[in-house]
């Protein structure tokens, strides 16, 4: 028996990049072929941001369900016996998408309130003698940082001062 997992997820990601997310939908089918034959492509709601492929075994065999999935992960553990669970209700929590880590800019600092987890806000700053080019604060949302990448640039004074007539200029750090 073949199951469509990787190719379905790739298909969903490609469709999502172009338009609203669409997932193949079937409920309690006995095989992947039956799911493809009896199911349909469905446009997901805005709160549903992933496609779910569910494979369950029951006393009568395998059941396949495919559908759009909300941004919640629910866990209900079983001791392996049919219809007997270790906890009375599932425990649900939001599925968080981490962002790539924000690295400390050269000649600067980064301070994040929750590392690179979803909802984290990072504040960037530069050392004395440098100015910030980019976003001062960035927020991780659904695996993507807001704002622009930050670079710390040396503060320079320009144009350089002209040599005064009959005098000298002595600078501690050229035109910085």
pLDDT single digits (tens) 57-90? 878 788 888 888 876 666 555 555 555 555 556 6
What is the pLDDT, as a whole number, of residue 5? 43
Single pTM value for the model: 0.44
Residue with the larger pLDDT of the pair 91 and 69: 69
Give the residue extent of every domain in the chain.
6-94, 97-176
Question: What's the fold here for domain 97-176?
Answer: Complement Module; domain 1 (2.10.70)
Give the number of other Cβ atoms within 10 Å of residue 44's Cβ.
Answer: 21
Residue 35: what are its φ and ψ, rounded to 5°?
A: -65, -45
pLDDT single digits (tens) 112-147? 999 988 889 999 999 999 999 999 999 998 888 999
Per-residue CA distances from 67 to 23, 50, 103, 121, 155 (Å): 6, 9, 38, 33, 55
- For residue 54, the surrounding DSSP H or E stretch is strand 48-58
Residue 36: what are its φ and ψ, rounded to 5°?
A: -65, -40
User: Rounded CA gap, 168 and 57, in Å?
Assistant: 88
Mean predicted confidence (pLDDT) in 166-171? 78
Rg of the Cα trace of the chain? 28
pLDDT single digits (tens) 27-63? 989 888 898 899 999 898 877 777 888 888 878 788 8
């Amino acid at each position: 028996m073949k199951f469509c997992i990787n190719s379905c997820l790739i298909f969903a990601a490609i469709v999502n990049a172009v338009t609203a997310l669409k997932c193949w939908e079937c409920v309690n089918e006995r095989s992947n072929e039956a799911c493809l034959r009896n199911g349909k492509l469905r446009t997901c709601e805005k709160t549903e941001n992933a496609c779910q492929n569910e494979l369950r075994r029951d006393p009568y065999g395998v059941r396949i369900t495919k559908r759009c999935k909300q941004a919640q992960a629910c866990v209900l553990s079983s001791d392996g016996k049919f219809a007997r669970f270790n906890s009375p209700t599932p425990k649900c929590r939001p599925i968080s998408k981490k962002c790539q880590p924000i690295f400390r800019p050269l000649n600067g600092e980064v301070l994040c309130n929750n590392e690179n987890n979803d909802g984290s806000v990072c504040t960037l700053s530069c050392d004395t003698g440098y100015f910030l080019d980019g976003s001062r604060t960035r927020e991780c949302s659904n695996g993507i940082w807001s704002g622009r990448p930050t670079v710390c640039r040396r503060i320079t004074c320009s144009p350089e001062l002209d040599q005064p007539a009959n005098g000298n200029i002595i600078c501690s750090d050229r035109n910085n």
